[in-house]
Structure 1
């Protein structure tokens, strides 16, 4: 909660308070003239950067209730401003409050307009603050602030008249279910020097409300009087309940406690703390509502002060975030150093254990690097080297769909393009041997890719005797199933019935073999696979 100066302006004088650490302190008074303005500026000179709020309690405060067409957006705002200027042309301090809509008809907006009709009382003070570049946060009205007071106290009666004792006199404000409708300020002392009878003034206010049709005959006006506890017995004798009036009295100290307000007078003889002024000032400083009356350019230094404060807050936030980031980085650095030390200690232990294990082992045939290279070569041969398993799997899948074919023999080999047919002489036992060997091609290790492979399939067809048409069809179907595999070339080397002109047609149909069994239709396929 920010510290600030809280000023209370009446028709006679201005009282300055300080809101500091949730308490209202001070109570210095200044006359409503040029000397009083100079004294106020001297009073604020030590704390010029502290914002100021001004609470006005003036007789020249007017309230008007209007019904305006319900218009929203920018057009509605312009309509409201035009109506305010038409209603109060002579003052810049204007205020409007939309209090709902009519239940029937066009459902127009119910608007309460208010203004300080005598700006000459307020302008000298606010212009002096602006000239000295003192930030003025807002201009407030005790009447409009009492609407917030009524809601805080839970006084939401259908017809409520709030009577408060203030330095300017007795303020009587009329509310309907918590909404302000009318207010008047009567002096505490009449022209003869006698104290004003609060009951009589309440009756006058009730008669006025009835005449303007705010208060219907037969209704009960709940009147709540807030005053110092010592004055309540005298006020009770002045205010008697009637058929249309019911009085309730609330001690000022009890109301301040219910609102959680703390007020301390600067001097023992300062009587301002015994009035509702200090309570309203403390409520204003604690709740910090938006300014009731517009100040226009007179509020510029407060806007600059608020922008400067926000920049300070932003800079502080950035500094805190940067400090946290630096702290986190330092903590992570310390943690990384601890982990590095632990890892170094573990590495030393592993090295020691490795050396102990290696010292207990017999002498090695070769170095560790060579053994690692041999393992890598072995894994590469397993993964990249040629193998008959792929082609055998294809043949096996085709045989599953051709149960009448029986496999007799497989011949697998690797096709190494460009491999020489004869090898160069090699040294055997230190001398040149008569035999030659062919150097192994890198394709056998799968470098740079797997080499082409071929598979010769020799099989026979279990079909009825002399049914060569069925045997040829079965072989063709088997070959087509194998040819469905990608990158697999199928060639018929020897069909079941060889009808080529270059081949001699031999044998007899149905001839029995030496063992007494019929001959089978055999065929041979050459498969070539390019991975």
Structure 2
């Protein structure tokens, strides 16, 4: 993984650490003046300036304001928050806001926590030095806002919680309501007389301030969690006595640091981790860095370029891995194909050998293989394409099923082939013309003609029924594709060229039988 540069900034100095492989090393400190900034730039030049940097500020000039704003969404909400931040903190570019819910009554306005570093001159020299060195600055963070993640990690879910930590700048007291930060103050660790401050007394002052600001009501117990080194727990235990509205709980710094996953590197860091809380907070920041608490604007451009470059490297690596995998699959498939080709070639040689052995045992052929193949093809054509009356007979049978009153009398089937009156070259005129190959279906099927003679079983003199039966029968035949039906002789000849004669009740054919003739022509 990448090396992360962690910088801990107070009003007096900046301490530089490195985080790599879950281990915090370093601890070089630089005084907050022009000479210290120059020494800091020399330090960065010799310690991987291309790695990302995280600046954690623990300043007394950090202000927190709790305001209510109308509940809006989208771009209007962002513009409203930015305008309110600018109005609240005009003199500093390092601002932060955090929406912490909505009010329960009235318009149900949003509850917003506004914070800012009110003295930008404590931060700007260090940020500008990193900008001059083109070092990717990932973000500017606050120890107070970072304690929200610490509270969640320690599972401190009290309704009113005061988290007290000992840091380089002094004692940091942060007030939380159900895990959400509401207020924070930084007090010196040594009073004006040079004596250590009394944590119990400072906690009482903070509780009185919270009550006066109506952040907590009177009568609500305040859970004060004090994180101290194990060596100082006895002294602080005597100072932190429970009161009617205050309950103290001491947690050792070593157990909390182990819970955050801090692994001390050199002796200096190990010694510092035993006295102060900043290595623990730096480890918490390095493991899961959130988005920058305070806006950096153009000071963050080199980090954005660094992140884009890392993303491009990651995408290139993924594409290289995919291409390597695809190449491996293709090589494996090629190997399999070569094996299959060798196997198929061996099988083909084996079959060729078997074929030659079988052909050697067969007696000499009467004709060539080509002639035998041609004969088989002709036989298949004769079997499938030669003209037979079976097809038309099936069509007629199907039509007779739908008209049972018609009885078939006679069928005259023939194949329609083109006739040629001129004799073929070399043929005697007295000899009969040769039969066309179309009769045998070579090269294609020939048209077929079927003359059908039938009679209609109907009552005597019922000519309308006879005509209707013949028409129904003809339509049933004409539904088949490629089949043309022509009425050659209707049961009642009503043509204008024929004389209509007879008497009612006179029988022309058999009693009650009307005969008709149809010509069926089937063309393939």
Query: Kindly tell me: are residues 291 and 477 of structure 1, through their superposed partners in 2, closer, same or farther at Cα, counting changes over 3 Å?
Result: closer
Q: Determine helix, strand or coil for the equivalent of 1:99.
A: strand
Partner of 1:233: 234
Gap runs ≥5 in structure 1: none
Match of 2:452 among 450, 454, 457: 457
Change (3 A) 1:248 1:480: closer
Note the residue ranges of structure 2 that are not aligned, 5 or more in a row. none
Shift in alpha-carbon separation, 1:37–1:519, aligned structure 2, 3 A: closer
1:3 equivalent in alignment to 2:3: yes
1:40 alignment partner in structure 2: 40
Q: Which residue of 2 aligns with 1:445?
A: 441
Instruction: Name the counterpart of 2:23.
Output: 23
Are the counterparts in 2 of residues 50 and 135 from structure 1 also a CA contact under 8 Å? yes
The match for 2:12 is 12
Cα distance per residue 1:181-205 (max 9 Å; x no partner):
1000111111111111110110110
Shift of 1:25: 1.8
Judge conservation of contact 1:135–1:301 (CA < 8 Å) in 2.
Answer: yes
CA gap of 1:469–1:318, structure 2 versus 1, over 3 A, is closer
Per-residue CA deviation, residues 319-363 of structure 1 (Å, 9 max, x unaligned), is 222212221221111111111111111111121122222222232
Q: For 1:398, what is the secondary structure of its paired residue?
A: helix
Helix, strand or coil at the partner of 1:250: strand
Deviates more, 1:335-344 or 1:53-62: 335-344
Q: CA 1:479–1:50 in structure 2 vs 1: closer, same or farther (change >3 Å)?
A: closer
The answer to whether the 8 A contact 2:130-2:137 is kept is yes
Change (3 A) 1:209 1:406: same
| 1:155 to 1:485, Cα distance in 2 relative to 1, 3 A | same
Aligned twin of 1:420:
420
Cα distance in 1 for partners of 2:492, 2:205 equals: 134
Structure 1 length as normaliser, TM-score? 0.89
What is the CA-CA distance between 1:424 and the residue it aligns to? 2.7
CA drift of 1:285 comes to 0.5
Cα distance change on mapping 1:26 and 1:357 into 2, 3 Å = same
* In structure 1, C-alpha distance between the alignment counterparts of 2:210 and 2:470, rounded to whole Å: 117
Cα separation, 1, equivalents of 2:231 and 2:453:
127
Moved more, 492-501 or 179-188: 492-501
| Residue 114 (structure 1) aligns with | 115
Q: How far is 1:147 from its partner? A: 0.9
Q: How does 1:254-293 map to 2 (within 5 A)?
A: 254-267=255-268, 270-293=271-294
| In structure 2, distance between residues paired with 1:519 and 1:281 | 118
CA contact (8 A) 1:63 1:113 kept: yes
Query: For the structure 1 residues 459 and 169, does the alpha-carbon distance in structure 2 shift closer, same or farther, using more than 3 Å as the test?
Result: same
TM-superposed CA distance for 1:262, in Å, is: 2.4
- Spell out, residue by residue over 1:385-407, the C-alpha distance to the aligned partner (whole angstroms, 9 max, x if none): 54433322221112112334333
> Shift of residue 69 of structure 1?
1.3
Residue 141 (structure 1) shift: 0.3
Q: Cα deviation per residue 1:264-316 (whole Å; 9 max; x = unaligned)? A: 34437843553110000000000110000011111111111111111211222
Which residue in 1 is equivalent to 2:517?
524
Q: CA deviation at 1:70?
A: 1.5
1:25 and 1:266 in contact (8 A); partners too: no
Distance 1:150 1:370 in 2: 98
Instruction: Specify the alignment match of 1:73 in structure 2.
Output: 74
Change (3 A) 1:433 1:158: same
Aligned ranges 1:174-189 → 2 under 5 Å? 174-189=175-190
Q: CA deviation at 1:91?
A: 1.0
My pick for the range that moved more, 72-81 or 490-499, is: 490-499
- The residue matched to 1:406 in structure 2 has which SS? strand
Counterparts of 1:12-411 in structure 2 under 5 Å? Answer: 12-46=12-46, 47-267=48-268, 270-411=271-412
1:63–1:298 distance in 2 versus 1, CA, 3 Å? same
2:121 is paired with a residue of what secondary structure?
A: coil
Query: Are the equivalent residues in 2 in contact too, given 1:425–1:436 (CA < 8 A)?
Result: no
Per the TM alignment, residue 436 of structure 1 is displaced from its structure 2 partner at its CA by 4.4
Give the Cα separation in 2 of the matches to 1:298 and 1:268: 29
Give me the CA root mean square deviation.
3.0
Q: How many angstroms apart in 2 are the aligned matches of 1:138 and 1:324?
A: 38
CA distance in 1: counterparts of 2:70 and 2:219, whole angstroms: 32
Which shows bigger deviation, 23-32 or 51-60? 23-32
For residue 193 of structure 1, give the secondary structure of its aligned residue in structure 2. Answer: coil
Q: 1:488 aligns with which of 483, 500, 522?
A: 483
Kept in 2, the 8 Å contact 1:456–1:527? The answer is: yes
Q: Distance in 2 between matches of 1:269 and 1:444?
A: 108
